[in-house]
Amino acid sequence: MCVANPAEQAAPPDVRDAPPPIVRGEPVEVADGVFVIPDNRVPIVPNVGIVLGDNAALVVDTGIGPRNGEYVLKQARRLAGDRPLYLTITHFHPEHGFGAQAFKGAATIIYNRAQREELHRKAAAFTEMFTGLGPAIAAELDGFELTDPDLVYEGQAEIDLGRRRVVLRGVGPAHTAGDQTVLVDDRVLFTGDLFETHMFPIAPYFPPFDTEVDGDRWIAVLDQFIALSPEIVVPGHGELADTAQIREVRDYLAHVRGEAARLRASGLSADEAAATIDKAARTRWATWDNPEWISFTAQAFYHANPHT
């Protein structure tokens, strides 16, 4: 998540009055050897994964800033004992990966190449933007240091934790340029912000600063998730889910894509099209949180293929 250029008319959810973005609570075992520290629907807190094998353990995402990273490391070490640790992140956004410095020297950190490159391109700007979201968020970013991975892969990587197989797969550009999924034993899928439960998808379309969100690719990735049909889906934010809920988000994105193309062809401006789509979507998906993201998604699709 991030904030837009203040000059933009649309604005993302206002989190100034939200609880501090602190990863809290005990890890909950959601499948054999797979634990999640739930986000409890607190803004700018992700679902954090800890996957235990006989020989090693993997942490998925860290929370925002060094203090959250230290808490996640403590929980991982408590569960894993003296087994070696790995860390990976679903994508570079601060609430998912800006606690990685706590793991330097304590775990083997693995990113895909696009993730690492995006981190280097955007970390400074995103740190500044998130700091501006409010004092509680700024406090968690105090002392943040950009942390490079120990290992970088292209395409797909497999980690054998000992009686537990984990596949990391780069699937961006979609939500970000370097999105990554984490699949455990072909049963449990960590999606990052490619999918959230009962929330409008976060489309970080912030021209001219960040326009790498790819809606067409995002829909294609969700189609892959549906075909995979995992037993348990761990979203970037929100409660555990299933394939049917992924299909709902896929259909929402496809609806916005179709409406953006139709309204553009009818002569409406990007702002007019976004406002029209926003109004209808708030009614159709009235139970979803964070409708502020609808306009960003509409703008991204409107500008993706302006000559079609």
Q: DSSP readout, 2-61?
A: ----TTSS------TTSPP----S--EEEETTEEEE--TT-TT---EEEEE-SS-EEEE-
Joined together, the tokens standing for residue 270 give 């990007």
Give me the DSSP letters along 121-146.
HHHHHHHHHHHTT-HHHHHHHTT---
pTM over 0.85: yes
Q: Is the pLDDT of residue 7 over 50?
A: no
Q: Is the pLDDT of residue 308 over 70?
A: no
Nearest alpha-carbon partner for 172 in 193, 202, 201, 197:
193
In whole angstroms, what is the distance from residue 213 CA to residue 92 CA? 13
In whole angstroms, what is the distance from residue 213 CA to residue 121 CA? 15
- Average pLDDT over every residue of 272-301: 97
Ordered by start, the domain boundaries in the chain are 28-304
Report the CATH number of the 28-304 domain. Answer: 3.60.15.10
Element (H or E) spanning 109, and its range? strand 108-112
Q: Is the pLDDT of residue 307 over 90?
A: no
In whole angstroms, what is the distance from residue 28 CA to residue 145 CA? 29
Residue with structure tokens 């998925």? 60
In whole angstroms, what is the distance from residue 150 CA to residue 95 CA? 20
Residue 260 has, within 13 A of its CA and on its CB side, a CA count of: 27
Q: Is the pLDDT of residue 105 over 50?
A: yes
Joined together, the tokens standing for residue 183 give 């699949």
Element (H or E) spanning 88, and its range? strand 85-88
The whole-number pLDDT of residue 209 equals: 79
The whole-number pLDDT of residue 294 equals: 97
- Average pLDDT over every residue of 121-130: 94
Q: Report whether 47 contacts 34 (CB < 8 A).
A: no
Q: Report whether 180 contacts 91 (CB < 8 A).
A: yes
Binning pLDDT at 50, 70 and 90, where does residue 13 land?
confident
